[in-house]
Amino acid sequence: MANLTVVVGAPSMVAALPAGQVVVVEADIELARALKRELQELGALDRVLIAAEVLTADYNQPVLWFRFNDSRLNGPWPLDHWQGKYPNLVVQQVEERTGRSLAEVLDVWEKQMPVELGDQQLLMITLVLSQGDALATLAGCGKWLRHVNSVQFNHPASCFSTQETMGSWLSQRGFCPPHGKSLCWQRDPLYTLRFELEESREKIMQMEEQLSYQAVHILLAKNNSQEVTAERDNLHIEKEILLTEKHELAEQVGALSQQLDDLAHERDTRTAERDNLHIEKEILLTEKQELAEQVGALSQQLDDLAHERDTRTAERDNLHIEKEILLTEKQELAVQQEDIKAINSATHNRNKKYKHHPHAHLLEEKYNLPIITSETHEDKFYKFAKKETFASAMKLIAFYLPQFHPFEENNQWWGKGFTEWTNVGKAKPLFDGHYQPHCPIHLGYYDLRITENMIEQAKLAKNYGISGFAYYVYWFNGKTIMETPLENMLKEPKVDIPFCITWANENWTRRWDGQEEDILISQKHSLADSMEFLKHMQKYFLDNRYICHENKPIIIIYRADIIPDISLTIKHWREMAVEMGFAGLYLVAAQTFGIKDPTDLGFDAAVEFPPHDVHSKDVQEIHTGINNEFTGCIYDYREIVSNKLNDSDPAYNQHYTCMFGWDNVARKEKQGNIFSMFSLGSYQNWLHNNLSKTIKMATNKINYPLISFVNAWNEWAEGTHLEPDQAFGYGYLESTHAILKKFNGPTSFYKLLTEQLDPRQGNRKPRRICIIIHCYYIDVFEKIYRAITLHINMNEVDLYVTTDSIEKAMQIKAITNESIITIAPNHGRDILPFINFLRSLKIAEIEYQISLKLHTKKSEYRSDGHILLEKNLNNLVSNTAMKIVEQNFQENPKLGLIVSDVCFIEHKTNDGERMIFNEHLIKEICDKIGMEFKESKFPVGSMFWYRQSALMRLIDIDSSHFHPEIGLPDGTAAHAIERLFSEIVKFEGYDTLEI
């Protein structure tokens, strides 16, 4: 028996296709072509026929094909057919098509896809309907209908208006209706047997006619010669044979009749069993009702007893009330005293923690501003926590050093038993507060020759969201060192984490700097050596854990600039990768020793490699107790993070990398370089910024994977490691997981985000009105969106949204699919994303007629925080407000700003509190943009309608004014710029209107 599955409406994935012979009929021509290409790549076209057709009852029948915003309803039915059930349905396209019957398609399959069917009565067809007019599809089956064994409706809407007719049509042709919620109609086996019986009878009748015809010929030839007589005898023999076959067929008919009777008997038996079960069910329901009544009576008794108990309890409690009041008053006095002590202590610790922050003066006793709760992690010890794993399209890879085991060369160079731990354990602090030595926990001072340690590292990394390791490989002109851990990893699939390779292709020196002095083992680069290196890497590439992009193994070269004939080397490398069975290589150049643009060297991308190319001044003067023999440098970790947050994006493909508090004192002792004042919060700001930039880099980029890096998993001798230590515990991993969770999203959403229709990218014309919303709180965004859609025609609006996580972006897309979303760190609150947005409009040469700026303001530290949003929305977004806005912007070309009158307040009160924290920043920013500040009013909450040209001076403000967040409610660059909006508008020659 041969099986054939006919699928009407292509599935979303090839993996959803059933096994065996398949015919896929898809009305969407592009989707059918895409499916065919994917099948061709998989080598599956020998069993699957793709037909891009609209199915009708007859061939060459004209039909209109409607496309809706809900693709499940695409088909021959117009909009009014669905609107009762789907009120939000919108017609996107109407096509004139010529329909074909399913019989025509199956005839093509029979010719193009021959299979060994034998007698075609043995062909069984499963028909899966997910698209189009189901009744027309079935009516067009023709001769093939008798082979249809089951009909499955994958989408009930495919037979929405013909359900009764469909049921009648299928029942008349021997199909059994579905049970329960099932939408699968099966061919009645009794019907099938009757069909086969009729087929057998027809064959017997045909044979009888053939015998009668032969008998006539025998009678006509009975007077012929002896030769004719012999022929007659032969015909008699054939007749006997045919009579025997007739007898055998009759026996088969009898057997089939017996099977029919047996099935009918079995059906009657099961029907009787079903009726008995129904009777038992009724009995059980009756017993259940009786028990419920008994429970009700007992519950009433219980309530009565409980009431009596509560009455007595109340009497007892009243006796204790006076005693409790007195005790409470006593305790409150004690608590107040403790609170005063705690506040003084917390204030002291907070001011100490942010002693060197640019806004530290605002925490001093003179101002004593509070710190709002921040999402970043505190600097403390974190215990291990089991995390919910996620499979995000955004990947974070950690560089991995395999030197934590003894090997021959290190024994010769440094002494017997030397490992990286030898340096780590002997490090000493060199100034007050210097964190040394770094002492590992979890695995302790592990040995990487023991594969169980690598298995546990993989589990720990994956638990906290790390996507893979970039193992360093040390190849020196045909010789490898410290490769044992990697070779063990290849042999042990339980080291269950993806990986790629970083070739550390510099000299090994006694100074740990890769330079030309005190060389222990040198590189001797040549074209031949490079070819041998790639051959050696083949065993890693072929491992199913190796990280590839578009079937290209990812490989990082640490010193691309010292490889001679690099262009020719890369050409040969790519050819060798193809010979290995890959599509090529994805080559990444580490940005070390001055390397910037990788395309100059022929690479696909660059990867940052801090502390290379990070910038900070030496800050030894702010530290105390510095060792007199120290000759190294001390840098400010917060300053390099601030600078990295302000870096612009290059035109070439770049992957971003962050690090922890890099400190190589363990290796270089008193000559080391140290990045002090590290905090988990600053690291999180850096990582969040890198992941946001990765999304931005992927937008309209070709051949760019969503991958970011961290330096490192286990660089213990350089003080930068994700692995837990005695100071922070699992804090490095915990803070990393918290940021990765913000970017947890499927590939499909990232694709939607990077390919969204954005006028700034030139893939859609801008509309008349622009609304820009910064979303930090989703619940407030929903409230804002309801308000604007109630009063503004969204068909005239381009809605831009900036937010700080993929999780929020997915929620925003669920609320409004028309939004154009940008992921940005919560750096500069709503102000810096707004300035960057204005800058993007200028670059794209887009100017909107009118624009509205909003953000999800809560200001929970203020008692009236929620009222600010209400006041702004009520005055700026209403039917009356919209008429005023439209009329005034049209009639007054010098109108630059429209603000809510109740939120437009004076710069200074009698005590000057609205300016006291911001005066120095306002002066600094005004100097930057070339204007003089004059006190007047400002829009509190930074929500307003504006003319784009009136605020373009803002783009002269770069992100260097915005320092990493510590949660201040005032005194930051965002607060200073809030006080400048109306003054900038006035300086540009525009007016401000209060409504």
- Residue 5, C-beta contacts closer than 8 angstroms, at least 6 positions apart: 18, 20, 21, 22, 23, 125, 126, 128
- Residue 270, C-beta contacts closer than 8 angstroms, at least 6 positions apart: none
Q: Which amino acid is at 401?
A: L
CA dist., res. 427 & res. 624, Å (int): 19
pLDDT at 478: 93
**Could you tell me which of 688, 905, 865 has the C-alpha nearest to residue 780?**
865
- Residue 271, C-beta contacts closer than 8 angstroms, at least 6 positions apart: none
- Low-confidence stretches of the chain (pLDDT beneath 50): 118-120, 159-161, 343, 345-351, 353-354, 356, 359-371, 373, 513-515, 910-911
Residue 594, Cβ neighbours under 10 Å: how many?
A: 8
φ and ψ at residue 475, rounded to 5 degrees: -115, 125
- Residue 283, C-beta contacts closer than 8 angstroms, at least 6 positions apart: none
pLDDT at 754: 83
**Could you tell me which of 829, 835, 801 has the C-alpha nearest to residue 952?**
835
Cα within 13 Å of Cα(451), Cβ side = 13
- Which pairs from 9-17 meet CB under 8 Å and 24+ separation? 9/128, 9/129, 9/130, 9/131, 9/132, 9/154, 9/155, 10/35, 10/50, 11/130, 14/38, 14/39, 14/42, 14/44, 17/44, 17/48
Give whole-number Cα distances, 980 to 826, 833, 930, in Å: 21, 16, 13
Which pair of structure tokens corresponds to residue 975? 């607060």
The β-bridge relationship of strands 61-68 and 91-99 is antiparallel
pLDDT at 909: 53
What does the pLDDT look like over 118-165, one tens digit per residue?
A: 444 578 899 999 888 888 899 999 989 888 989 988 865 554 446 678
pLDDT at 20: 87
CA dist., res. 39 & res. 35, Å (int): 6
Residue 772, Cβ neighbours under 10 Å: how many?
A: 24
pLDDT at 827: 79
pLDDT at 855: 92
- Percent of the chain having pLDDT more than 90? 50
Asked if residues 65 and 40 have their Cβ atoms less than 8 Å apart, the reply is no
φ and ψ at residue 367, rounded to 5 degrees: -110, -50
- Residue 828, C-beta contacts closer than 8 angstroms, at least 6 positions apart: 835, 959, 962, 973, 974
What region does 672 belong to: left with phi over 0, alpha with psi -120 to 50, or beta?
beta
H/E run at residue 49: strand 48-51
- Residue 168, C-beta contacts closer than 8 angstroms, at least 6 positions apart: none
**Could you tell me which of 785, 966, 941 has the C-alpha nearest to residue 859?**
941
Residue with tokens 């002693």: 355
**Could you tell me which of 192, 36, 176, 71 has the C-alpha nearest to residue 121?**
192
Which pair of structure tokens corresponds to residue 118? 């034998």
- Residue 702, C-beta contacts closer than 8 angstroms, at least 6 positions apart: none
pLDDT at 81: 82
CA dist., res. 635 & res. 643, Å (int): 13
Asked if residues 943 and 900 have their Cβ atoms less than 8 Å apart, the reply is yes
Q: Which amino acid is at 494?
A: K
Full DSSP string of 68-102: ESSGGG-BS--GGGTTTT-TT--EEEEEEEEEB-H
CA dist., res. 14 & res. 501, Å (int): 32
φ and ψ at residue 407, rounded to 5 degrees: -150, 165
For 554-699, list the strands marked E by DSSP: 554-557, 586-590, 605-607, 633-636, 654-655, 657-659, 673-676
pLDDT at 768: 94
Per-residue 3-state assignment (H helix, E strand, C coil) for 294-338: HHHHHHHHHHHHHHHHHHHHHHHHHHHHHHHHHHHHHHHHHHHHH
The span from the first CA to the last CA of the chain, in angstroms, equals 80
Strand partners, 67: 93
**Could you tell me which of 961, 686, 359 has the C-alpha nearest to residue 675?**
686
